[in-house]
Homo-oligomer: A and B are copies of this chain.
Amino acid sequence: MRVLGVDPGLTRCGLGVVDGGLGRSVSCVAVDVVRTPVDAALPRRLLQVSEAVDAWLDTHTPEVVAIERVFSQHNVRTVMGTAQVSGVVAVCAARRNLPVAFHTPSEVKAAVTGSGRADKAQVTTMVTRLLRLAKAPSPADAADALALAICHLWREPMRARLAEAEAKAAELARTHRARLAEAAARRRDDRTGTGLTS
């Protein structure tokens, strides 16, 4: 499976395409950072990111897009721009009927380093090693995009299995509730029946 990982941002938006092979083997297809000028108008900047993502989807034809989930605990101004970029990227994917997955930064860090609290340097080191890259991807946004794609490749099978198990459990619960309701209705009928004959 081929995944486009996106570390959303206005000033720097990381894009990384990773192929997943047998087991946990992964290989880097492409990685780059889209930059938009800080002094440009916001709609223009968002359009530039949108066009870059469209070009990447055309060139690399990933089967799924994994985007970092944005939290608003951080810097308010930055977060709004980041959220807007993530929305714009999600629409690029949706327009092509590609599935989109959102992963939190700690899910990504945990997937590639084993710790949800790893720092940027550790993530970059692990991404470089896992993808057997000749040199570390730079800036950090590029490494983060690759980490997101790897995280998706490794978590997705587990997530899919979990979703399947949850669906099965929900189905069982529904059946059980239906049987209980049936039994209760039968008891009510029996009682009504008693009432009529008494």
User: What is the interface of chain A, defined by CB distance below 8 A to chain B?
Assistant: 41-44, 46-47, 50, 70, 72, 76, 79-80, 83-88, 90-91, 93-95, 100, 102
Q: Is the CB of B94 within 8 A of A44?
A: yes
Instruction: State which of B41, B79, B88, B94 has its C-beta within 8 Å of the C-beta of A87.
Output: B88
- Given A44-B94, A84-B88, 18 extra CB contacts under 8 A: A42-B100, A46-B87, A46-B90, A46-B94, A47-B91, A50-B95, A70-B80, A72-B72, A72-B76, A72-B79, A72-B80, A79-B83, A80-B83, A84-B84, A85-B87, A87-B87, A87-B88, A88-B91
Which residues of B lie under 8 Å from residue A83 when comparing CB positions? 79-80, 83-84, 87
* Cβ–Cβ < 8 Å partners of A94 in chain B: 43-44, 46-47
* Closest chain B CB from A136 CB (angstroms): 31
Q: How far is the CA of A76 from the CA of B69 in the complex (A)?
A: 13
Q: A44 vs B91: C-alpha distance in the bound complex, in angstroms? A: 7
Contact residue among B41, B76, B91 (Cβ-Cβ distance under 8 Å from A43): B91
Copies in the complex: 2
Residue contact A41 to B88, C-beta cutoff 8 Å? no
Q: Which residues of B have CB within 8 Å of A93?
A: 43
A87 contacts across to B, CB distance below 8 A: 46, 83-85, 87-88
Taking the closest CB of chain B, its distance from the CB of A47, in whole angstroms, is 4
Best-surrounded residue of A42, A70, A83, A86 (most CB of chain B within 10 A):
A83
Cross-chain pairs A/B with CB under 8 angstroms, 27 sampled: A41-B100, A42-B90, A42-B100, A43-B90, A43-B91, A43-B94, A43-B100, A46-B87, A46-B90, A46-B91, A46-B94, A47-B91, A47-B94, A47-B95, A50-B91, A50-B95, A72-B76, A72-B79, A72-B80, A79-B83, A83-B83, A83-B87, A84-B86, A84-B87, A84-B90, A85-B87, A88-B88
